[in-house]
Amino acid sequence: MRRWLVVVLAGALAAALPASASASAGSCRVDVPGAQRQVAVCLDDLTTTGTLASGHTVEADWAGLTSAGLPTYGRVPGVQVDGYFPDTSTANTNHGWNHDSQFVLRLPARWNGGLVVSGSPGVRRQYANDRAIGDQALAEGYAFAATDKGNTGAAFYDDGVRPGDAPAEWNTRVTQLTLAARSAAARHYHRPVTRTLAAGLSNGGYLVRWQLENRPWLYDGGVDWEGTLWRADGPNLLTFLPPALRAYPAYAAGSSSAHQSILDAGFAPGSEFLWDYHYRVYWDLTQRIYREEVDPSFDGALSAGTPFCASGTPSCDADYAYASRPASVTRAVERISLTGRIGKPLLTLHGTLDTLLPITRDSDVYEKMIDSAGRGSLHRYYRVVDGNHVDGLADVYPDRLRPLGPCFRTAFDALGGWLRGVRPPASGTIARPAGATPAELATTCSLVSRP
């Protein structure tokens, strides 16, 4: 059983990571409340340019999430703390710790009083946001904290006891890290945190949404980059992935009706060039592991079903019908569902060619949920034409896709302005600028939109 509701425990300092010679160990000591293990070190540069060289990030955690052309930042010296909170699951192998609930906290020498907290996308580990989010936050003077969410890897569903336990822990771990990081920063800088922001992409974006709905008093606002939508009555990924999986083999063989079935599932016209890659890399695996988490009885004794099974095969995820499953499945999804009742300002970005979480089944729906909850004044929603779910694919298809990383950077700054009283542009569609080159799209993005 995980004891992840215990937030404040005595921390212990342990040396296990590469050290920098830029400062003595004593000047780098940081106390993260509740951490079972923590290793603090002064670094000459906390951005990925420096941490790649010093060994204080893991590039595999964030590979593929950003485009190669996303600009880097100048050197940001400060203190990095790596550690973990008490947990009994062991999937995260970073540092040879074999311990989940790992986190990283970075404290820049020149601090603006703010803190950015993030949970990892997908089932990645704590460094997954370093390039996409952490570099900007640190360069602008924010402290930055990120968590592995308490379970990692394709078998994340093995963590927990009840269906839904693993993603429910994600939410708790972000709250836990936010509280601990605020306390650690206040002690380190000898003054309280004045602004706390949540930011994340994919599952990390879901965590931003959930925190602003359920823990709004901890945050001043958030940026949601294509967050995953969980709704007990749908849509959710278990409602739109199975029909795509079922139809794709026939589509690949030339069937026009199968093509229409994938469009009907919610995938955008014009995204067809991405379907083969997503079928092979994302659709099948995502469906099976998340279905296993909330509905383990579907495939009996199997663990996450049978990869790429043909429709008609017993217990095949291509034939999964969420609406016909037992009420226990709905209850498991209810535990992690969103409501739209955000309590602090939120900016949402979503690409129109997202081929993992199609925009019409995700952020379009979440915007309506926020409006229905009477919270529309707290929300800005930007639909980014030609944006996909991961920016690495924009390097493969530079003339067809545009990266969302630059739009996130603009949105992050717009959130800061909003909190200072400068309202961001109205929600709308960010068109691809006429004549813009791939290099220009990789570096700049305007939120000026067309309703």
Whether 134 and 108 have beta carbons less than 8 Å apart is answered as no
CA angle 226, 231, 237 (to 5 degrees): 60
Dihedrals phi, psi of 324, to nearest 5 degrees: -100, 5
Contacts of 141 (CB under 8 A, 6+ apart): 108, 110, 111, 112, 113, 114
Structure tokens at 364: 């379009």
- Nearest CA to 145 among 60, 69, 64, 33? 33
Task: Give dist(CA 175, CA 112) in Å, integer.
Answer: 22
> For the chain, what are the domain ranges?
38-193, 237-335, 339-442
**3-class DSSP assignment, residue 381:** strand
One-character DSSP codes across 278-330: HIIIIIHHHHHHHHHHH-GGGGTTSSS--TTPPTTSTT-GGG--GGGS-HHHH
Task: Give dist(CA 254, CA 369) in Å, integer.
Answer: 37
Task: Give dist(CA 423, CA 438) in Å, integer.
Answer: 29
pLDDT for the residue numbered 349? 98
Neighbours of 373 (CB within 10 A): 15
Dihedrals phi, psi of 111, to nearest 5 degrees: -105, 135
Give the residue carrying structure tokens 């995700």.
362
Please give the chain's pLDDT, 451 residues, in tens.
333 333 322 232 233 344 333 333 336 899 999 999 999 999 999 999 999 999 999 999 999 999 999 999 999 999 999 999 999 999 999 999 999 999 999 999 999 999 999 999 999 999 999 999 999 999 999 999 999 999 999 999 999 999 999 999 999 999 999 999 999 999 999 999 999 999 999 999 999 999 999 999 999 999 999 999 999 999 999 999 999 999 999 999 999 999 999 999 999 999 999 999 999 999 999 999 999 999 999 999 999 999 999 999 999 999 999 999 999 999 999 999 999 999 999 999 999 999 999 999 999 999 999 999 999 999 999 999 999 999 999 999 999 999 999 999 999 999 999 999 999 999 999 999 999 999 999 999 999 755 4
- Nearest CA to 102 among 130, 133, 125, 78? 125
| Distance of alpha carbon 443 from the chain centroid | 21
Task: Give dist(CA 227, CA 207) in Å, integer.
Answer: 8
- Burial class of 223 by CB neighbour count within 10 A (0 to 12, 13 to 18, 19+): buried
What pairing do the DSSP bridges indicate for beta strands 143-147 and 102-108? antiparallel
One-character DSSP codes across 49-98: HHHHHHT-S-HHHHTTSS-TTSPP-----EEEEEEE-S-S-----GGG--
Task: Give dist(CA 410, CA 136) in Å, integer.
Answer: 10
Task: Give dist(CA 32, CA 176) in Å, integer.
Answer: 11
Structure tokens at 31: 């106390």
Contacts of 211 (CB under 8 A, 6+ apart): 171, 174, 175, 178, 198, 218, 219, 222
Whether 104 and 145 have beta carbons less than 8 Å apart is answered as yes
Structure tokens at 116: 């950015």
Task: Give dist(CA 117, CA 105) in Å, integer.
Answer: 9
Structure tokens at 240: 């739109």
Task: Give dist(CA 234, CA 125) in Å, integer.
Answer: 28
- Burial class of 425 by CB neighbour count within 10 A (0 to 12, 13 to 18, 19+): middle
Is the pTM higher than 0.85? The answer reads yes
Task: Give dist(CA 77, CA 96) in Å, integer.
Answer: 26
Structure tokens at 352: 């129109």
